[in-house]
Amino acid sequence: MPLLALEAIRPCWSEPGCYAVLQQGQVLVASHEAIRCGVRCGMRTGGVSAIAPATVMLDRNIDKESLAQDAIAMALLQFTPEVVHAPDCCIVLDVSASLTLFGGPHALCRLITTSVQRLGFTVQLGAAPTATGAWLLARRWREKSRLLRRRTLTMKTLTRLLNRLPCNILPEALVHAEWLTGIGVDTLGDIRKLPRAGLLRRTDRHLLEQLDRAYGQIPELFEWISIPATFSARMETFDRIEHADALMFGATRLILQLTGWLVSLHKAVNAFELLLEHERGRCAIAPTVIEIGLAEPAWHEPHLLRLLQERLARLELIAPVIAIRLEVRKLTAMLPPTTSLFPEPGGTPADWNRLLELLIARIGKDGVLTPACVHDYRPEVCNSWVPVADQINKKNDDGLIVERPFWILAKPIALLMRDERPFYGSPLILVRGPERIEAGWWDAQTTARDYFVAQDANASCYWIFLERSREPCWYLHGLYA
């Protein structure tokens, strides 16, 4: 990540402009626009303001950088468990075991690049059979009139590429830069041509070891980053955010981290929470909690993101958001993919559950309903629908089955009377009935009705009743669809 110092403060999707990050009064990193204006690394503040007065100078924020690097490492855990931080804002991954799973080196490189870019960082990817070699290639800068190649799979090409690299790319060689230039050594290949014993006497052991590691002559040992047992990621937003949609970038970053963490532990998430932190201090407001429960444990990043997006789209912020935090509430072990040879027609139950989650996320729990089996004679009680999310898988026992109209009105409509007949658009003729329903003395909804089937002049059928407990009156309660 060559621009990590800058992008920890300003992510790569923010508006382009001249920016430079300073460390101890010297330019550490500058944006592409600033470099085009003439700003170079190592310049002093005065020089920058003389060459490109429009450049905005920012101070380096080491805390944010290390947080960002941790976030990237966490997200990259989904490709391999062997991830380690390297000097100069680099991350080294050992992907030799993951190549087949992700469809070869090219596909894997593309996946890694996209996922780092979605986190908001520019990435330079180097690939080589040795970790140090890959690290050196990744840090190589573009030179004029020279084909830039940072990836190789064979030792032979790596040796050729490394031989051409300038000496000062190796931090150990930078110490002896003056001496090396003095004897006319420019590239790593030139150093290797020197007699080994003399080189060891005049420089130090570390330079030789590092070179040997890069060329694959001695083994490399790394202490891979340890995966935390619990997941809780927090991110400060770059500004006070007043629109829930604008939180999607931050949420994407947290979800990517979550995916990396879940995959590395072989776990799937059942429930998680997104906390939106508001004002702190004197006028502190408690954070808004978005709770997302999943019917089926998931670890797929697109699905989690869709759910979050639908929820965020419905959310109304009570106050500007300054930070977001993602916390995992419930975990289960990841299930292996199904081993059946043919896909099931009409999708798998997992697909169906995913659809239900998506619908619930947008419409709400009370909008996705399924019939509940309640044995009661009163049509209002009998015809109860419960949210799918609450439904306990009950066996559908066939109790009593009576003929009923397909449509029921949520609230019965009182009918007008004309010529002693109920009237609804046209006079209603009673066709069948009465069916007496008297029930509910045990609770407050006592019902005493005589139900009839009535037909109007159009020949459509209605289910009407005569109320018996109060003033006798006709009501429309159902339609025969």
Partner 1 sequence: MLSIQQHGGLTAQAAVSAAIPEFQGVWRANQMAVCRTATCSTGFDSIDAELPGSGWPRSALIELLLQQSGIGEMQLLKPVLTRLSATQKVVLVQPPYLPQAMACKSWGIHTENLLWIKTAGAADALWATEQILKNGCGGAVILWQTNVRNEALRRLHLAAQATDTWLWLMRPLAARMDSSPAQLRIALRPAAGGISLKIVKRRGPLSGQRLFIPLATMPASPHPSEQQNAPVVVRARAVAGTRSDTSLLV
Which residues in this chain contact partner 1 in the complex, by CB under 8 A? 345-348, 351-352, 354-355, 358-359, 362-363, 366-373, 379, 382-383, 385, 388, 396, 398, 401-410, 420-422, 429-432, 434, 438, 441, 446, 448, 450, 452-453, 455, 458-462, 466-470, 472, 474, 478-481
Q: How far is the CB of 354 from partner 1 (least distance, A)?
A: 7
Pairing of strands 421-424, 426-427: antiparallel
Using an 8 Å Cβ cutoff, are 361 and 307 in contact? yes
Distance CA 382, CA 359 (A): 26
Distance CA 41, CA 54 (A): 17
Q: How far is the CB of 154 from partner 1 (least distance, A)?
A: 44
Residue 139 or 477 having the CB closest to partner 1? 477
Distance CA 160, CA 108 (A): 24
Residue 201 or 395 having the CB closest to partner 1? 395
Residue 161 or 382 having the CB closest to partner 1? 382
Of the chain, the end-to-end C-alpha distance in Å amounts to 65
**Residue pointed to by tokens 């290639």:** 137
Q: How far is the CB of 74 from partner 1 (least distance, A)?
A: 31
Distance CA 193, CA 313 (A): 63
Q: How far is the CB of 404 from partner 1 (least distance, A)?
A: 4
Distances (CA, A) of 387 to 6, 211, 364, 376: 48, 65, 9, 20
Residue 260 or 422 having the CB closest to partner 1? 422
Pairing of strands 461-467, 473-479: antiparallel
Q: How far is the CB of 22 from partner 1 (least distance, A)?
A: 49
Residue 164 or 468 having the CB closest to partner 1? 468
3-state DSSP call for residue 179? Answer: helix
Residue 29 or 382 having the CB closest to partner 1? 382
Q: How far is the CB of 433 from partner 1 (least distance, A)?
A: 8
Q: How far is the CB of 388 from partner 1 (least distance, A)?
A: 7
Residue 121 or 452 having the CB closest to partner 1? 452
DSSP 212-273: HHHTTSS-----PPPPPSS-EEEEEEEEEE--GGGGHHHHHHHHHHHHHHHHHHTEEEEEEE
Using an 8 Å Cβ cutoff, are 94 and 228 in contact? no
